[in-house]
A and B are shown apart, each in its own frame.
Chain A
Amino acid sequence: MNPPAVPAAAHHHAPPQGFLRRHVFSLDHKVIGKQYLDLALVAVCIGMGLSWLMRLHLAWPNLPIPGLEKLSPNGAANGVITPEYYLSLMTMHATIMVFFVLTSAPFAGFGNYFLPIQVGAEDMAFPRFNMMSFWTTCVAFLVIVSSFFVSDGPALSGWTAYAPLSAVGKDAGPGQGLGQTLWALSIAIFCVGQLFGSLNFVATTLDLRTKGMTLARMPFSTWAWFITSVIGLIAFSVLLAACILLLLDRVAGTSFFIPAGLVISDRLQPHSGGSPLLWQHLFWFFGHPEVYIAILPGFGIVSHILPVFARKPLLGPRVMIGCMAVIGLLSYTIWGHHMFLSGMNPFSALLFSVPTLIITIPSTIATLLWIGTVYGAKLRLQTPALFCLGFISVFVSGGLSGFFLAQPSIDTYLHATYFVVAHFHFVMAVAAMFGIFAGTYFWFPKMFGSMMNETLGKWHFWLTFIGVYCVFFPMHYLGLAGNVRRYSAFTDDYLKPLIPLHRFITVAALFTGAAQLIFLYNLIRSRFRGPTAPDNPWEATTLEWSTTSPPPFDNFGGHPPVVSHGPNEYGVQGATGDYVMQAAPGAPRTH
Chain B
Amino acid sequence: MGKLFAVVVAVITLVATAIFVMHVWWPPADISVHGPGIDRQLGETMVMAGVLFVVSQLALALFAWQYSSGDGRKIKTFPGGPMPLVVAAIVIVGIETLALTFVGSKVWAGIFQAPPDPNSLQVDVQAEQFAFYFRYPGPDGSFAATHPELINEANENYFGLDPAHEVDARDDIVVPSLVIPVNRPILLRMHAKDVNHSFYVPELRIQQDFVPGLVIPLHFTATQTGKYEIVCTQLCGLGHYNMRAYVEVMSPGEFDQWLKEKAAQQ
- A residues whose Cβ falls under 8 Å from a Cβ of B: 82-84, 87, 156-158, 160, 162, 164-165, 168, 172-176, 258-264, 266, 268, 274-277, 310-312, 315-316, 319, 341-343, 346-347, 349-350, 353-354, 357-358, 360-361, 364-365, 367-369, 371-379, 381, 386, 389, 392-393, 396-397, 400-401, 403-404, 406-410, 412-413, 415-417, 458, 462, 465-466, 469, 473, 476-478, 480-482, 484-490, 493-494, 498, 501, 571
Contacts and interface: CB of A to CB of B under 8 A. Distances in A.
Given A83-B239, A353-B101, A486-B235, A416 B198 contact: yes
B174 to A, nearest CB: 16
16 contacts: A87-B237, A162-B234, A162-B235, A168-B194, A173-B237, A263-B194, A274-B213, A311-B75, A315-B78, A341-B198, A353-B105, A401-B49, A404-B45, A407-B101, A409-B104, A469-B16
Contact of B64 (A374, A412, A478, A484): A374
Given A165-B196, A377-B67, A493-B229, A83 B108 contact: no
Given A165-B235, A346-B113, A477 B19 contact: yes
Interface string B80-100: 011001101110011001101
B209 interface: yes
Contact of A477 (B25, B42, B207, B233): B25
Contact of A349 (B63, B67, B108, B239): B108
A410 B57 contact: no
Contacts of B78: 315, 372-373, 375-376
A261 B208 contact: no
Contacts of A168: 194-195
Contact of B193 (A262, A397, A478): A262
B70 A174 contact: no
B68 interface: yes
B210 to A, nearest CB: 8
Interface in B184-221: 193-196, 198, 200, 202, 205-214, 216
A112 to B, nearest CB: 31
Given A386-B5, A403-B97, 13 more contacts: A87-B240, A268-B148, A277-B214, A311-B75, A312-B75, A341-B208, A346-B112, A378-B67, A407-B45, A416-B234, A477-B25, A486-B235, A488-B240
Contacts, number: 309
A371 B81 contact: no
Contacts of A312: 75, 77
A371 B59 contact: yes
A378 B73 contact: yes
Contacts of A82: 238
A403 B81 contact: no
Top 7 A-B residue pairs of the complex, sorted by shortest distance between their CB atoms: A259-B213, A316-B82, A376-B76, A482-B202, A84-B238, A346-B112, A477-B25
